[in-house]
Structure 1
Amino acid sequence: MASITSFEDLEIWKLARELCHKVRLLSRKEQFSRDFRFCGQINSAAGSVMDNIAEGFERDGNKEFINFLYIAKGSNGEVRSQSFRALDANFISDVEQKEILGLTETLKFKIQGLIQTLKNSGGKGYK
């Protein structure tokens, strides 16, 4: 098994980056992009998923990493919920929403899996 030496090596960070990219592309659609507040909110939530994974990885121990993973998981849920708002406002299609829902569902389970792995691995670091 390969050693993880940076957050860029984490599969969940790569998936979160993909989610962030897809949300960014969708939010650039003409009608969607006109709702500045909502557009900013969904992009911020998607960015928060990948950024909290990265920040937690760079912290000083499993407890802090786990805390940031929970924040990332919450932001992932926020994107999932906001995808329904975007669908209801006709900003995205059913197919586009299914893509977002698929990514957020995968991320939810993978983030939870890493949390469990870290909890079971014993305390590492100071915090």
Structure 2
Amino acid sequence: MIYDKKESLSSNPENDALTVNEPYKFYNGNRDFTSLEAWIKCRDVKLFFYQKILPLLPKEEKFNLDIQIRKAAISITSNISEGYGRFHYQEGIQYYRISRGSLFELKDHLISCYDIGYIHSEIKNEGEKLIESAKIIL
């Protein structure tokens, strides 16, 4: 993405400095948010929680920790995709910040699962590595 005041998509001149767009010469219609490295890393985190953490939770957590993890895991990728679709730079940044916050929330849930005894240290360490690699990019 390129910050370009001359080729702004905004019709309001006051918002031109806040508009992010892809000039025609760089535009690729086949590219979308799924090509972003941050989205790919966050997707890995989401899949880790769905495949390795949620199956280990007991039934009594179905309406507590389970739901919290599901919402935060879905939020990290959905906020990146929604931010990518925004025309204004500052709007996109806000969605990326929300996504980053969800990563921190998932790290807390991971630690809680470990502290309560639902997961072992190997799974906790694997999850922390995935979260850290996503946070670096996001």
Superposition TM-score, scaled by structure 1 size: 0.79
Matches within 5 A, 1:39-78: 39-78=66-105
Q: 1:74 to 1:60 in 2, by over 3 A?
A: same
Structure 1 unaligned runs (5+)?
112-127
Q: Which residue of 2 aligns with 1:125?
A: none
Bigger proportion of residues as helix:
1
Q: Does 1:38 align with 2:73?
A: no
Q: Which runs of 4+ in 1 moved over 2 A?
A: 2-5
Q: What is the CA distance between 1:89 and its match in structure 2?
A: 1.3
User: Tell me, which stretches of 5 or more residues in structure 2 are unaligned?
Assistant: 1-25
* C-alpha RMSD of the superposition: 1.6
Cα deviation, 1:60-82, whole Å, max 9, x if unaligned, reads 12111111000000000000111
CA distance in structure 2 between the partners assigned to 1:3 and 1:108 by the alignment: 27
Amino acid at match of 1:28: P
User: Aligned-pair distance for 1:22?
Assistant: 0.8
Give the Cα separation in 2 of the matches to 1:61 and 1:100.
33
The aligned counterpart of 1:21 is: 47
Cα gap change, 1:33 to 1:18, in 2 (>3 Å): farther
The letter for the 1-side match of 2:32 is S
% of aligned pairs identical? 25
